[in-house]
Amino acid sequence: MISSQRASGILLHPTSLPSRFGIGDWGESSYRFIDFLEKTGQTIWQVLPLVPTGYGNSPYLSYSALAGNPLLISPDVLYEDGLVDQEDLAYFPEFPTDYVDYNLVIKTKFPLLKKASNAFKTNALYELRQNFETFCKHHSYWLENYALFMSLHEVHPGKTWRHWNKDIATRQPEAIQYWTERLSELIFYHKFLQFEFFRQWQKVKKYANDRNVQIFGDIPIYVAYDSVDVWANAEFFCLNETTQATSLMAGVPPDYFSSTGQLWGNPVYNWEKLEKINFKWWIQRFKRTLEYLDVVRIDHFRGFEAYWAVPQGETTAENGEWLKAPGEKFFQCLKNELGELPIVAEDLGVITPEVESLRDKFNLPGMKLLHFAFDSDRANPFLPYNYTNHNCVVYTGTHDNNTTVGWFSERSFEENMRITDYLGGICSQGIHWSLIRLAMGSVANRAIFPLQDLLGLTETARMNTPGLADGNWEWRYCPNALTPELTKHLQFLTELYGRIVH
């Protein structure tokens, strides 16, 4: 259940943590970041999906909705557990400190993980091996398919699953048995990676929870076509029965921001079949996700009420149609399973009264973005004086927005004067602290800020630019960025605006 107390927190994906291994991980820096949250009175750490990333390194385009990203495994923790040697760690190259060079990280980290897996298989202590067996048994409902899928991907480089041999693409029992036996070594490796990821992450999460910090993460509504989720559950997606290609693609229609809409390409759900099994696949997904998160944000929540479906072969999202989804039935089933729903609805964009009704029926907090508050008239729902419900989460911006400094610098003089007048002037620390103050002082129960805004960084620190294929998800903060002065100022504002949770 989401607390109704006033609280605040920071949005920071773990890949953005400092680390000498080129990408943030579950090592020492994750614990020090939690210490920073505790010292400043923050009780929320918001992360993006923690899943294995595919093309473009996007956590929203994953090989699995349930697995963890092996790149977040800490080599230092592997060393502490005797799975790699100090010599293995000594030969890592010198990585950039302010961004992730994914090609270099992948090239150097995966061979180390392979070595750790081999050491675990031959030399792991009895207790650790027993924990591994327990993990595999408890998670077999998704882990078996995932480990086989990733192993098949390795031996079919550059091919999506529907371009594999037809027998294994369509999961014929004889083919499953053949490939499971043939790829047993690789399957063990991928199971080990998942065991190690979640073993390290559970320690980090416990450290956070023990310090009154909740982990707030994401469930993207759609999954990637080239994922184990679609390969192992093809009947729950709108696929062409003959070719197994996506027959109806997800996206959003043309709007103010795009004359051709956005064609995401993910397969949409076959809600009729999901409803017949009481949404078991979705409920398992939520239960699994809540094993490693405390609260989840549903990305593109409006798709549970109605979704934009574009036929196969279209190159833009213009020629789609709205189709109804059984959102009320689904959330009622989910509530019957979970009780109170620890869910935040991403309700940005063009939202209909029906979507708002679905959100409010289950008492789900929505989102307010201050970057969107100044581009229309006084009725703008993102202006804080229009927040009619405390049950919402206010942000300066999100991972998909520019930084606040970058956003302000791109606006016209007239637009910025309107913001300045609304704020009664820009505070001496800059526009980023002015908007943080505005969010902190609002009636919203929760206020969350990207770390880039706390640091006053420009557009070069932006995490993601939607529609841009390359150069996203790379930003990292430098080891000495969380200064005593920053700590003191954030703690002061958190106390001033009544967001210290006692």
More confident residue, 361 or 350: 361
Residue 35 resides in a domain = yes
Catalytic residue among 196, 305, 346, 453: 346
In the numeric block, which tokens belong to residue 363? 């008492």
For the cut 80, the answer to whether the pLDDT of residue 2 exceeds it is no
Query: Using 50, 70 and 90 to split pLDDT, how confident is the model at 3?
Result: low
For the question of residue 421 being annotated catalytic, the response is no
State the pLDDT at residue 352: 95
Instruction: Give residue-wise pLDDT tens across range 468-479.
Output: 878 999 999 999
Query: Using 50, 70 and 90 to split pLDDT, how confident is the model at 54?
Result: confident
Torsion of CA 472, 454, 16, 464, to 10 degrees: -10
Catalytic residue among 196, 299, 347, 474: 299
- Work out the percent of the chain whose per-residue pLDDT is above 90: 91
Residue 409 resides in a domain = no
For the question of residue 377 being annotated catalytic, the response is no
CA dist 90 and 95 (Å) reads 13
Nearest C-alpha neighbor of 320 from the set 276, 266, 279, 272? 266
Residue 422 resides in a domain = no
For the cut 60, the answer to whether the pLDDT of residue 382 exceeds it is yes
Residue 339 resides in a domain = yes
Q: 264 CB contacts (<8 Å, ≥6 apart)?
A: 222, 249, 250, 251
Mean of the pLDDT values across residues 343-368? 95
CA dist 231 and 239 (Å) reads 11
For the cut 70, the answer to whether the pLDDT of residue 148 exceeds it is yes
State the pLDDT at residue 124: 80
State the pLDDT at residue 468: 81
Query: Using 50, 70 and 90 to split pLDDT, how confident is the model at 26?
Result: very high
Residue 247 resides in a domain = yes
Looking at the chain, how many residues does it have? 502
State the pLDDT at residue 304: 98
**Domain count of the fold of the chain:** 1
CA dist 225 and 227 (Å) reads 6
Instruction: Give residue-wise pLDDT tens across range 417-455.
Output: 999 999 999 999 999 999 999 999 999 999 999 999 999
State the pLDDT at residue 466: 86
Residue 62 resides in a domain = yes
Mean of the pLDDT values across residues 186-192? 98
DSSP letter assigned to residue 48: -
Residue 420 resides in a domain = no
Mean of the pLDDT values across residues 110-118? 97
For the question of residue 94 being annotated catalytic, the response is no
Q: 14: domain range? A: 7-397+429-496
Contact 53, 59 (CB under 8 A): yes
Q: How far lies 208's CA from each of 30, 52, 369, 402, in Å?
A: 9, 22, 26, 28
Instruction: Give residue-wise pLDDT tens across range 488-501.
Output: 999 999 999 999 98
Share the mean pLDDT of the chain: 95
CA dist 367 and 12 (Å) reads 17
Query: Using 50, 70 and 90 to split pLDDT, how confident is the model at 502?
Result: confident
In the numeric block, which tokens belong to residue 415? 């637009």
Mean of the pLDDT values across residues 454-460? 98
Catalytic residue among 35, 294, 314, 400: 400
CA dist 6 and 17 (Å) reads 27
For the cut 60, the answer to whether the pLDDT of residue 1 exceeds it is no
In the numeric block, which tokens belong to residue 381? 């729902």
Residue 285 resides in a domain = yes
Q: 202 CB contacts (<8 Å, ≥6 apart)?
A: 292
State the pLDDT at residue 114: 97
Mean of the pLDDT values across residues 293-299? 97
**At 466, which CATH number?**
3.20.20.80
Instruction: Give residue-wise pLDDT tens across range 211-236.
Output: 999 999 999 999 999 999 999 999 99
SS (H, E, C) 145-195: HHHHHHHHHHHCCCCCHHHCCHHHHCCCHHHHHHHHHHCHHHHHHHHHHHH
Query: Using 50, 70 and 90 to split pLDDT, how confident is the model at 257?
Result: low
Q: Tell me the whole-structure pTM to 2 decimals.
A: 0.96
